[in-house]
Amino acid sequence: MLVLMLVATLQLCSMARAQPLCRIHTVRTGKTFGVGQQAQGDLLYFSFMTTRLIKHPCKKNIALYLGRQLFFTTNNFESSLLPFAIPTSMQVGIPEVTSAHFAGSVLLLVVNQKVYIYDYEASSWSASTGIKHPVSHISGDNCCYSEHPFCLEISNSIFAYVHGDQISQANIYFSKSWGYRFQKYAHEGQAELVGSLGGIFYFHSLSQVGLLLIDQGRAKFWYLDHPLNYSFGLPFDYNGTLDILITPGQKGILIFWFEKSLLISKNAGQLVNPVRVREGRRTLHSIFEANITIYNVAANENELAVLTQESNLYYGSLGILTSFLIKFAHQNIWSQEAALMFTNPGMLEILTPLPDSVFPAFDFQKCPVNIQAILMDPQLQVDVCKVEILQGDFDNKMYIIDMNSELELTALMIPRPGTSPVPLNISLRQQHLWGRTDPNFTSSIKRPTISTITVDIANKEISCVDLKPLTALISVGCDLTKKIIIQNEISACYKGFLDPVALQDNYSYVIEKEAYDPNFRGQPATKDLVVHYPYEKLGCPLLVYYNTPWKPVMELWREGKFQEIVEAEFVLLEVNGLFTYTYSLTAGTALCISQPQNWTTILENAGDKGPFAWDRENYVSCHDPNSDAPLKWPKARYQILGGPTANKVVFDQRNGIYVFFISVVDPYYSYCWLETTFSVYVYGALPRISIPLEITIIVLMLAILLSVWLAYMIPTLLRTEKGHGFKGFWVSLCKRCRKSCACFQSRR
């Protein structure tokens, strides 16, 4: 997990001022020609007595107002609007809305205990499928960096449930399709939990699903995924029915609020603290002690605003160190229909729908609040911001850190006039790789995750409204610009074994049936295989001599530039099923301490993945002391190349083209699935002489008969007259040879 938060502050205090907070104006548009226009369908309404305003986390002009009527806007309520309605064809019954959520380009609504989807780009409605029980709430999270696959997956993820159900028996549903299709969601240990379900959320900052459990006035989060693995956050007081607001920016900041309670968590619910009200410079009160009644809450990435039924507005900044509110001047700004929303950093609006006695479309009363201008009033006793500029090129951008990679960022802080600029150099790397953390700091470094980095000023004054923190999204995962290339310094075309022109001209070759298995089990096929050679993809094959153990050389490239030679563990498989090769090492000679994996065991468990299923996710090293597979067959061939061994491929006595799939399986080299396909041409093997079995048997029988005949005939012939003469000839020849040898020795 990678989180660097160089502090902010949440500040809220209490003071009065004379001049008004804002100047009210009314938005009234499009009514000259809209006399007969009416809302079509069943008019939706919010089930709670207080209002809500939900803004799209990425598209800042899209929002939904929930109150006695619902209003959906694509221009920040800068035009009059008809009340939001659902078509009667959806047959919702009672059009009561209990929850709403933006997911990608759709708006999800829980209407009468069912989930409905409004695609605002296509102006179409549909009902979710897969939910078999009533639900009251939906939740999820949105990642605005939608170009990254990890964020896209998170944005798709939606939960549906009943708020207040006993967690042990709660029916929770989960969707990966923006809520179009749901399936039942259950986790190990849920049945043993005690308490009711207060919500379920996905937290970017922890790459974590968290369930809020409520029991006897206390609440705590239960985290389901690594690195927390079924652990709990610290419990906190839970009074009333708390509404939970996840602030945008993927920082894991949660706002919990009710009429008499306001809490904040800056680490995805692991630790929850009360927000206090400050009067003057020192006095701090709880929301209950301050005797205020919260009606509406709004937050952006860095700010918090609270509207009370006493018609007061409170303001604070979101951060790390402290949490308190400051009270702005009293003004008659509250009504039962009022809601807050931030339009820009430091710019807040109090929004109130206004019915029209003539036209069905509602107007909108807006009261814009310039936070910076108000904070400059000396009566508020707010300290002057001590920093002029905080800037960095990484703000509001996304970066990727792959395994064993580092990220260097820079920021610049310029204090008030008379002081020197302060450069900030930031170096980011996974904590596992710094060597400064316990090995069990997270349950698995193998899985990608996502987090944020925020650079801010410690103990920053609340008046630093324009000095917003610098935030970037960090994806600890695959760098999509990486790829592997097989080194091909000497090709078969270069040495004249193959003609590149012929290879490009629809070239094909034949694999003998004895040499391949279409099922990749090492069994001969029933007929020869004709293979088309894809020259556009593979180029000219790498040249390899059959009688020399061989290992491909992998190069890692990033953004079109060579990075390094890959020394990580990898595997090979001939894509057409050729099995006329083996490996130089066995499990024993590779010094395995457990039985190593092989292609046979991988294919048995491949399922729908197909034959090329061996990758970094299912690889288990036989050198891992934690492996529980005993070494039963030390003479089995070791099929992993690279890494700590000198294992190589050994080809049989066969010439021809091999097309290999290669995959880096070392889970600690990269989060990417580094794999590719390449070809080699094996040469130098003399053709095997094939003699039919029948001829071999006949020749062998004749040889045996000849040997028996000679064993009988030679002694018999030597006893005849001719045999004696033949024997004497050879005796005389031997004597002559001895005399010649003796003469030669005497001369020396």
Rounded CA-CA distance 623/602 in Å is 18
**Cβ-proximal residues to 454 (8 Å cutoff; 6+ apart), any chain:** 4, 5, 6, 8, 251, 469, 470, 471
Confidence band for 415, pLDDT divided at 50, 70 and 90: confident
Residues 661-672 have a mean pLDDT of 94
- Can you give the pLDDT at residue 11? 41
256: β partners: 244, 263
Q: Is 80 exceeded by the pLDDT of residue 179?
A: yes
Contact 346/466 with Cβ under 8 angstroms? yes
Q: How far is CA 103 from the centre of its chain?
A: 18
Q: How would residue 433 be classed by pLDDT, with cut points 50, 70 and 90?
A: low
- Dihedral sign of CA atoms 185, 189, 194, 198 in order: negative
Predicted confidence (pLDDT) per residue in 600-613, tens digit: 999 988 877 778 89
**Mean pLDDT, range 84-113, rounded to an integer:** 95
Q: How confident is the model at residue 704 (pLDDT cuts 50, 70, 90)?
A: confident
pLDDT, average across residues 172-177: 92
Per-residue confidence band for 19, with pLDDT thresholds at 50, 70 and 90: low
CA-CA distance, 249 to 638, in Å (whole number)? 48
Most confident of 10-14, 277-281, 427-431: 277-281
Between 427 and 346, the more confident residue is: 346
Amino acid identity, position 676: T
Do the strands 96-103 and 106-111 form a parallel or antiparallel pair, or are they unpaired? antiparallel
At residue 570 the predicted structure's pLDDT band, cuts being 50, 70 and 90, is very high
Residue position matching structure tokens 């395994």: 403
**Residue, of 223 and 366, whose pLDDT is higher:** 366
pLDDT of residue 675 exceeding 50: yes
More confident residue, 591 or 143: 591
Token pair belonging to 236: 């906190």
Task: Report how far residue 433's alpha carbon sits from residue 127's, in angstroms, rounded to the nearest whole number.
Answer: 47
Distances (CA, A) of 278 to 463, 562, 637: 15, 58, 73
Under the banding of pLDDT at 50, 70 and 90, the label for residue 707 is confident
pLDDT grade for 729, boundaries at 50, 70 and 90: low
377 by Cβ neighbours in 10 Å (0-12 / 13-18 / 19+) ranks as: middle
Is the pLDDT assigned to residue 209 strictly greater than 80? yes
- Residue 150: pLDDT band with limits 50, 70, 90: very low
> How much is the mean pLDDT over the chain?
85
Calpha distance 238→256 (Å, rounded): 9
The pLDDT of residue 717: 65
- In sequence order, what are the residues at sequence separation of 6 or more whose Cβ sits closer than 8 angstroms to the Cβ of residue 710? none
d(CA 8, CA 118): 37
- For residue 708, which phi and psi values (nearest 5 degrees)? -65, -45
- pLDDT grade for 517, boundaries at 50, 70 and 90: very high
Distance CA 648, CA 549 (A): 6
How crowded is residue 291: how many other Cβ atoms within 10 Å of its Cβ?
11
C-alpha dihedral, 274 to 279 to 284 to 287, nearest 10°: -40
Which residue carries 């061996």 as its tokens?
614
Residue-wise pLDDT for 601-657, tens only, equals: 999 888 777 788 999 989 999 998 887 778 999 999 999 999 999 999 999 999 999
CB proximity list for 657: less than 8 A, separation 6 or greater: 509, 531, 533, 541, 679, 680, 681
DSSP state of 586: B
CB distance 349 to 369 below 8 Å: yes
User: Stretch 255-262: mean pLDDT, rounded?
Assistant: 92
Question: What is the CB neighbour count within 10 angstroms for residue 629?
Answer: 15
The C-alpha angle with vertex 381 and arms to 375 and 387, in degrees rounded to 5, equals 60
The pLDDT assigned to 444 comes to 61
Strand ranges (E), 608-693? 649-651, 656-664, 675-683
Residues 6+ apart with CB under 8 A from 612: 573, 575, 661, 663, 675
Quote the pLDDT of residue 523: 93
Q: How confident is the model at residue 145 (pLDDT cuts 50, 70, 90)?
A: low
- The amino acid at residue 720 is T
- Written as six digits, the tokens of 679 are 């070809």
Instruction: Answer with the residue of higher pLDDT: 542 or 104.
Output: 542
> Can you tell me the distance from the alpha carbon of 191 to that of 275, in angstroms, rounded to the nearest whole number?
34
Q: How far apart are CA 677 and CA 661, in angstroms?
A: 5
* pLDDT attached to residue 459: 78
CA dihedral 586, 592, 597, 598 (to 10 degrees): -10
* Angle made by CA atoms 614, 615, 616, in degrees to the nearest 5: 145
Handedness of CA 316, 317, 318, 324 (dihedral sign): negative
Does residue 705 have a pLDDT over 70?
A: yes
Q: Where are the beta strands (DSSP E) in 527-665?
A: 529-532, 542-545, 554-558, 561-565, 570-574, 581-583, 649-651, 656-664
Tell me which residue has tokens 């509602």: 362
Q: Which pLDDT does position 461 carry in this prediction?
A: 83
Is residue 35 scored above 50 in pLDDT? no
Say which range, 56-60, 69-73, 733-737, has the weakest mean pLDDT. Answer: 733-737
Q: Is the pLDDT of residue 292 over 80?
A: yes
Give the least confident one: 18-32, 87-101, 398-412.
18-32
Q: Residue range 548-576: average pLDDT? A: 96
pLDDT at 438: 57
